[in-house]
Amino acid sequence: MANTENTGKWGMVIDTDRCTGCMACVTACAMENNIPWTGEEEAGYGRGMHWIRVQRLWHGEYPEVKPEFTPTMCQQCGHAPCEPVCPVFATVHSEAEQINLQVYNRCVGTRYCGNNCPYTARTFNFFDHEFPTPMDFYLNPDVTVRRRGVMEKCTFCVQRIHKGQEKARAEGRPVKDGEIVPACAQACPADAIVFGDMSDSESQVSHIARSERRYQLLPELGTEPRVTYLKGGGYYGG
Amino acid sequence: MSQKISRRDFLKITGVSSAALAALTGCGPASRFVVRKPYPDMPEYNQTGASTYFATGCRECPAGCGLIVRTQEGRAIKVEGNPDFPVNYGKVCSRGLTAVQGLYNPDRVQGPLKQASRGSSSFEKIDWETAIPIITSALLKNEPSGVAFLMGLAPDHLYDLVAEITQTLGSPPPLRYSALGMFEGRTTLLQAVNNIFHKDSLPFFDLANADYVLSFGANFLETWLSPVRYSRAYGSLRQGIPGRRGYLVSFEPRQSLTSANADEWIPIKPGSEGLVIAALTKLVAEIKGIEGASDHSELDVAQVANTADISLKKLQEIAHAFASADHPLAIPGGQLASHANGLAATQAILALNGMVENLGKKGGLFLIPSTSVASNFSEIQALVSRMSRGEIKALFIHGVNPVFDLPSALGFQEALKNVSLVISFASFPDETALQSDYILPDHTPLESWGYQHVLAGADRPTYSASQPVVVPLYDTHATADVLLTALKESGKVPYQDEVDFLQQKLLPLLQRGGGFYTAPEILTFWSKWLQYGGWWTPTEGLEKPNGSSTPPAPAANVAELQEGQFFFVTYPTLFGDGSGANRPWLQETPDPMTTVMWNSWVEIHPDTARKLGVKDDDVVKISSPAGEIEASVYLYPAIRPDTVAIPFGQGHTALGRWAEGRGCNPLQVLNVQFNEAGDLAFGDTIVSVTPTGRSRKLARFESREGVYGSQH
Amino acid sequence: MAADAQSLTDMQIARYEEEEDPRQHLMFDPRPREEMNRMVLEAMQTTTPRYWITVGILGLLVALLLFGAWGNMILNGIGLAGVRPPIYWGIFIVTFVFWIGISHAGTFVSAILRVFKAEFRRPFTRAAELMTTFGLAAGALYPLIHLGRVWVFYWMMPYPNARWLWPNFRSALVWDFLAITTYLLSSTIYLYLPLIPDLAMARDRTEGWRHYFYMVLSLGWRGTEAEWLRLRKAIGIFAFAIIPVMFSVHTIVSWDFAATQVAGWSSTIFGPYFIVGAILSGVSAVITILFVLRSTMKNMKYFIRPEHFNALGKLVLVFSMSWAYFFFNEYLLHWYGGYKVVRDLLMHHATGPAAWIWYTMLICNVAIPWLTLWNKKIRSNPTAMFVITLLINVGMFAERYTIIPLTLGYQRFPFNWGQYTPRLTEISIVLGTFCLFIFLYMVVSRLIPLVPVWEVQEGQHAHTLRKVGKSEVPSVTELD
């Protein structure tokens, strides 16, 4: 089933039962995608540039209080609310990867997509953020460094998808399952994040996504999110 | 205007797919003089636009995970986990990920410095030709007993080298200290293992295969022993075996990330852990019908439950579930060791494991097949008192920041004044470096050679190998090389340089065999060692503990609080031993439980806060006999109302632009008191809380509304 | 002497009112053509140094508050504004909607009342049309101001380019852009057409630069039958054509919100709700401005009379009630519909930390007009009307504030619920556009006749008092 074309329906499954909320995904994403830090004041004002955030909500009252961790990033909706509202086609659906792309150099900064994203997954460059030399040495050459006034968001590490596909093509073979992983899934110490091709029904991600613990965020909106979550906490089924 | 590097500035990846793209190829010619040249002068194996991957070892904490560092055009781009490495299996934590922000930190010490006077921050650049004779004379001209080394828990190779040097010189052996070691009660755990199982090694808990786990203050998802390894095991505990989900019960006064992930969090009274363990032991013994728990026979379980603030029914339920589980496991953590009866309590936990017969069994307790050494806290105190008495003439500090990392009540900084010569090998101008005469900066870990002996997180004998992934950025020298050069003329050490030392140290591994690769001679072994990022055996090699002896029951250790007093909890965060505070992305990564960024906070239960008349973001003063600190309040619903907690890691007065002047250092209020193993009993600190009437807004990632149960 | 004449007029009008004389109505209180022309020109030309100093200060404020702050924001980043995720739109868009709302006044008062032949409209159609144009000018700045990268704003325009890139016609912002442009153009033409005869009148009665200025602007108007015929035809067409444009503009502005997935925005009634709100705020703003004109400009008390406040006051009451209908309808629907997110959001507006804004909105938009405007005495009192209508516009600003940042701050994930506080730059720019509006109005009110003299005269011709027996009965001749 695995294809040799540069296509695929990339998808992700996040097992919230495995997720410990340790934030490694958040840091990994920042280091892979050249995400700038914003400093105490800006971050405290809610302008942190985190492409992935771990939502922690408390349940219960002391002493039965317990947080619930939900890593939330762009859900790469099949029917994305951010896409139709952009006046300049800066947020578009890619036919090859079937994910939402943000075209940084097309973005004029209306922030309309940010409003319309029900997952509030988009972050905006309110200022130019500096990487004081030599901190800029570690910037990933595969990922654009964004300037002020443009929107950005999780890309499913599209640069890694392309790299993996190029490598497979150069070797004349289909992309192997699990060969392409985004930075968050690669780092996740508890293996809570699984990534792969959803159009391949035999891939690990497809298998896990069929779990009876599966759910999606805000399914009532019909956004067809490409990220599936698995229920955690006290659920003993397979 | 910031630095703008557009995609166009870099050459796009060409379709090359050969060696460069395969991970694990990265050693190049098998020479000790391999350097990773920067862009304008690249070695021939480096292709423009294609990444080169180097296997190396992580030195951010003592766990010693294996890393793969992606480099391109001579720059370290991204830290990834080494998928083959038997500790982290390709995974990596936030601290490891930001190693490149340590390497490329603009606040690094860029070359050897002489400080005009200690604490003056007025530095004079010197060169290594001047610096090395100073070390030579400090090592050779002083009384051997007047030379002391204080080192961190990483890297191991330097410790081994220094241990050899001090032995040759007749100086006291180097002391190793790390705030992380203190927080995880490493010495206590070692001592307990020694007392119960008569071995000098750390235990390994097979969390992945257990099905009913009791954790007493072991924050194994954050920093305890080998967090990545245990996080991975936690994932398997939950969903690793189809149809089964392990159950985790955590006992501690403040809900840590580990407790937050537990199925049950039992907020027992600080100090009552030992009693609860004794009561559990008694109950389990009764359920299993085991004789020989006689030491506990007089214990009144109901009274224990009352003292510890846990319902008797719950205690019995837990004991029953633990006793009847297929794979029960009890884990003693740092919070447990941090009380005056910490050793007895830790021993009791180890014995409890023995009682449910999980020693050396799947899902049970094992021993790591290597011996560990760690200095206990009273040895550090002894060093400090020798320093104050002026007995130390030359103090060498590497890999640790004692002015920050030690409780200020210990008086390290004052004692330092009586040391004639203080030499710091720090890469950053940290608090200790600013109190020294010379800063002779070591390379940062990603520029260094070395090895780390994995002592906690691997299920087999494992070494991680460090190699420079980039050419050293500044005029820094490897401390091992500096010491070897300094002693070269005296002929007291048989090593040519650091790489020579490492290779000689590897010879036993080569000769012993049993690794997953072999080599006919050291150079081939060396190249494989670098290529794979270390050495380990292909099969599991954990030891089954035996000779379990019944320990004495832990003594009661519950303090009575006066009005206005609180138990005090401090715990390590993403910043590890505090050195992570100057990495902007560690500062910007929200704390998992509170989502606070860039500052310190005091966790206070909302009810307590109401009584104190404080609300979110109000600044309160925390004082103890040892000192006082201030921080903003975070209303934390998951902490005992009689306890307050402050995370450790912030409160730097030096270290760099992102760390300085941020938050407070909770070690300033810790009393210096010890448990039976000589570890710091920091859990017995009692503080009082006074509102200051000021308010300082914390940078919280979460909303201030809507997160306390009012969600949709 | 002129001042005496004015106070005489005022006294006379007051007496008419007391006696309930029909001559209290402008239409039944004719003056000779030449005198009226002179009155209008006098109102336009009488200024004091203080007036121009005020204009100068306003101009300075526009330069500083609006363009200075905006320029600074362009250089440093939109972060100088207080917007933050998920509240990506703040007071800029609030003020944008506010100005677009204000701009409905001109069209509504002028075109709709013209079409429906409401005679009381005659003296203040131009004042209202000017509001439309300047309100739009102020409002149209905001889509530019709030852009993250304003220097590439033209990418939102459909223009042919080598990369074959067109704007996304599915985006409400593109419709917005087109609708506002259309409205600005058509309302400017609609302002200009009825102005031509008055400009010609001014041309014939002025000297110096004004003479040349009006000569150019009046396009050689001579007042022939054929010219009048064509002018009336053009005005007639525009009056009808501009009404759908007006309705479409605010509907489209509402689609910026309604055509999204944001809880509390995605609503089918937003189109009419916004229009009613816009007309409410627009008509109120007309009253506010009329009061100011009446009390500051010479001879205006003759043209703008309590009867006009009375008539407009009735309209305000009607629109306040319609607005309240839509407002409560929203609550009723969501209470019945039961989508928890929206229900919680609406509850949050009423009970959350920013509830005072919600209460301000209800008090100003509902309580105050309903409690006062039923009373003719209050409606006919210009000062009272000034205060009431000013409060209504405060309420309408609060309404837009509630709809935009307060709604965005309480979306589906409580994890990042939050508040937004406008920052100095934003407040400065908002104040700057208010200054811009006043500045433009003050300058232009001294450049063009603010009262459409020919319309007033036309109306007075059609209105007569006929003697029937001993009493005088007002009678109106149907025009057209």
* Confidence check: pLDDT of A5 > 60: no
% pLDDT > 90, chain B:
68
The answer to whether the beta carbons of residues B189 and B342 sit under 8 Å apart is: no
How far is C178 from C182, CA to CA, in rounded Å? 6
Asked if the structure places residue A128 within a domain, the reply is yes
Instruction: Kindly state the tokens that stand for B257.
Output: 């990330």
Is B265 near chain A, with CB under 8 Å?
yes
Query: Which residues of chain A are within 8 Å of residue B700 when distances are taken between CB atoms?
Result: 44
Q: What residues does C463 pair with on adjacent strands?
A: C476
In a domain, A235, yes or no: no
> Is A197 a residue whose pLDDT tops 80?
yes
What percent of chain C is modeled with pLDDT above 70? 98
Q: What does CATH list as the number for B182-367? A: 3.40.228.10
* C296 contact partners, CB below 8 Å, separation of at least 6: none
Question: Could B705 and C341 be called an inter-chain contact, meaning their C-beta atoms sit closer than 8 Å?
Answer: no
> Residue C251: pLDDT above 80?
yes
Q: Which chains touch A (3 or more CB pairs under 8 A)?
A: B, C
Q: How far is A133 from chain B (nearest CA, A)?
A: 6
Q: Which partners does chain B have (≥3 C-beta pairs < 8 Å)?
A: A, C
pLDDT, tens only, C419-432: 888 999 999 999 99
Please state the rounded mean pLDDT for residues B22-35: 39
Enclosing H/E stretch for B647: strand B643-648
A58: contact with B, CB 8 A cutoff: yes
Full domain range(s) for residue A207: 10-230
Q: Which of C179-193, C402-416, C463-477 has the lowest mean pLDDT?
A: C463-477
Q: Are strands C471-476 and B113-115 parallel, antiparallel or unpaired?
A: unpaired
Does the residue A237 lie in any domain? no
Reference B642, options B611, B672, B664; nearest CA is B611
Helix, strand and coil in chain B, % to nearest 5: 30, 20, 50
| CB-CB under 8 Å, C414 with B703 | yes
Write down the pLDDT at residue B23. 33
- B573 to chain C, minimum CA–CA distance in Å? 22
Mean pLDDT, range B602-630, rounded to an integer: 94
A180 or A5: which carries more pLDDT confidence? A180
**Which of C148, C156, C415 has its CB closest to that of A148?**
C148
C-alpha to C-alpha distances, B688 to A32, B562, B645, C132, C239, nearest whole angstrom = 44, 9, 12, 65, 77
Q: Answer yes or no: are the C-beta atoms of C182 and C252 closer than 8 Å.
A: no
Nearest CA in chain C to A150: C148
Chains that touch C (3 or more CB pairs under 8 A): A, B
Residues 72-91 of B with CB under 8 A from A: 72-73, 75-81, 88, 90-91
In a domain, A64, yes or no: yes
Contact C174, C181 (CB under 8 A): no
pLDDT above 70 for C339: yes
Contact by Cβ (8 Å): B187, B677:
yes
Pick the residue from chain B with its C-alpha nearest to C353.
Answer: B705
**Residue A238 in domain:** no
Q: Which residues of B touch C416 (CB under 8 A)?
A: 702-703
Among the ranges given (B542-546, B550-554, C67-71), the one the predictor scored with the smallest mean pLDDT:
B550-554
The CA-atom distances, in angstroms, between B411 and each of B42, B145, B385, C269 are: 49, 21, 9, 71
User: What would the CATH number be for the domain defined by B565-700?
Assistant: 2.40.40.20
Domains parsed from chain C with CATH numbers? 40-452 (1.20.1630.10)
Residue in chain A closest to B264 (alpha carbons) equals A64
Write the pLDDT tens digit of every residue in B445-467: 999 999 999 988 888 999 999 99
pLDDT, position A61: 87
CB contact under 8 A, B707 and C412: no
Can you tell me the mean pLDDT for B383-409? 93
Calpha distance B399→B150 (Å, rounded): 8
Statement: residue B709 has pLDDT above 80: no
Q: State the pLDDT confidence band at B558, using cuts at 50, 70 and 90.
A: confident
Report, as an integer, the average pLDDT of A159-182: 92
Question: What distance in Å separates residue C132's CA from the closest CA in chain A?
Answer: 25
Among chain A residues, the shortest Cα distance to C405 is held by: A115
Specify the number of domains making up chain A.
1
The predicted pLDDT at position B39 comes to 52
Q: Which tens digits make up the pLDDT trace of C373-386?
A: 999 999 999 999 99
The alpha carbon torsion through B530, B532, B535, B537 (nearest 10 deg) reads -160
**Residue keyed to tokens 């012993």:** B512
Confidence of residue B7 (pLDDT cuts 50, 70, 90): very low
Whether residue C105 is predicted with pLDDT greater than 90 in this model: the reply is: no
Q: Do B79 and A192 touch (CB under 8 A)?
A: no
Q: Contact, B270 vs B643, CB < 8 A?
A: yes
CB contact under 8 A, B97 and A24: yes
Chain A residues within 8 A (CB-CB) of chain C? 42, 45-47, 53, 55-57, 72, 81, 84-89, 106-112, 114-120, 122-128, 148-151, 218, 221, 223
Give Cα separations from A213 to A77, B129, B237, C90 (angstroms).
20, 65, 17, 39
Say if residue B56's pLDDT is above 70. Answer: yes
Average pLDDT, chain B: 88
From the candidates B79, B91, B97, which should be mutated to test the interface with A, based on the most A CB atoms within 10 A? B97
Give the residue-averaged pLDDT of A55-80: 91
Taking one residue from B and the other from C, the number of pairs with CB-CB distance under 8 angstroms is 26
pLDDT, position B2: 45
Our CA-based measurement puts residue C255 at a distance from the nearest CA of chain B, in whole angstroms, of: 27
Residue A67 sits in a domain of what CATH number?
3.30.70.20
Query: Exposure pattern of B492-503 as b/e (b: 16+ CB <10 Å)?
Result: ebebebbbebbb
C153 vs A contacts (CB less than 8 Å):
108
Q: Do A44 and B697 touch (CB under 8 A)?
A: yes
Structure confidence at residue C51 (pLDDT): 92
State the count of interchain CB pairs (< 8 A) between A and B. Answer: 250
Give the minimum alpha-carbon distance from B705 to chain C in angstroms, rounded to a whole number. Answer: 6
Query: Residues of C with CB below 8 A from B2's CB?
Result: none
Asked if residue A5 belongs to a domain, the reply is no
User: What is the residue extent of each domain of chain B?
Assistant: 113-176+373-444, 182-367, 565-700
Sheet strands (E) in B136-255: 147-151, 175-176, 203-205, 212-216, 247-251
The CA distance from A82 to the nearest CA of chain B, in Å, is 23
Q: Which of residues 123-162 of A touch B (CB under 8 A)?
A: 128-145, 147
Chain B positions touching C353 (Cβ under 8 A) are 705
Domain annotation covers residue A33: yes
Give A48→chain C minimum CA distance, Å: 9
- CB of B437 closer than 8 Å to CB of B423: yes
Assign 3-class secondary structure to B374-427: CCCHHHHHHHHHHHHCCCCCEEEEECCCHHHHCCHHHCHHHHHCCCCEEEECCC
Instruction: Give the position of tokens 């499913």.
Output: A156
Among B8-17, B95-104, B508-517, C30-39, the least confident range? B8-17
| Residue A200, domain member (yes or no) | yes
- Average pLDDT over every residue of C96-118: 88
pLDDT-based confidence at A86, cuts 50/70/90?
Answer: very high
- What is the predicted pLDDT for the residue at B41? 60
B705 interfacial to chain C (CB closer than 8 Å): yes
User: What's the pLDDT score for residue B389?
Assistant: 93
CA of C79, closest CA in chain A: separation in Å? 4
Instruction: Please give, rounded to a whole number of angstroms, the shortest distance from the CA of C417 to a CA of chain A.
Output: 10
Mean pLDDT across B121-144: 93
Q: Assign residue B649 a region (left: φ > 0; alpha: ψ between -120 and 50; beta: otherwise).
A: left
Q: How far apart are CA B236 and CA A192, in angstroms?
A: 10
- Specify the DSSP element, H or E, that contains C118: none
ipTM of the complex: 0.93
pLDDT at residue B289 in the model: 84
CB contact under 8 A, C149 and A115: no
Mean pLDDT of the region C52-76: 95
Interface touch C171/A118, C-beta < 8 Å? no
pTM of the model: 0.90
pLDDT of residue B292: 63
A46, A53, A118 ranked by CB distance to C84: nearest: A46
Task: Label residue B118 left, alpha or beta by phi (over 0 means left) and psi (-120 to 50 means alpha).
Answer: beta
Q: Are C363 and C322 in contact (CB under 8 A)?
A: no
In chain B, what residues touch C418 (CB-CB under 8 Å)? Answer: 703-705
Report the CATH fold assignment for B113-176+373-444.
Answer: Rossmann fold (3.40.50)
Site from C260, C340, C421, C423 to mutate, A interface, most A CB atoms within 10 angstroms: C260
- Per-residue pLDDT tens for B214-252? 999 999 999 998 999 999 999 999 988 888 889 999 999
Q: Which residue of C has its CA nearest to A221?
A: C261
Q: What is the pLDDT of residues B316-358, one digit of tens each?
A: 999 999 999 999 999 999 989 999 999 999 999 999 999 898 9
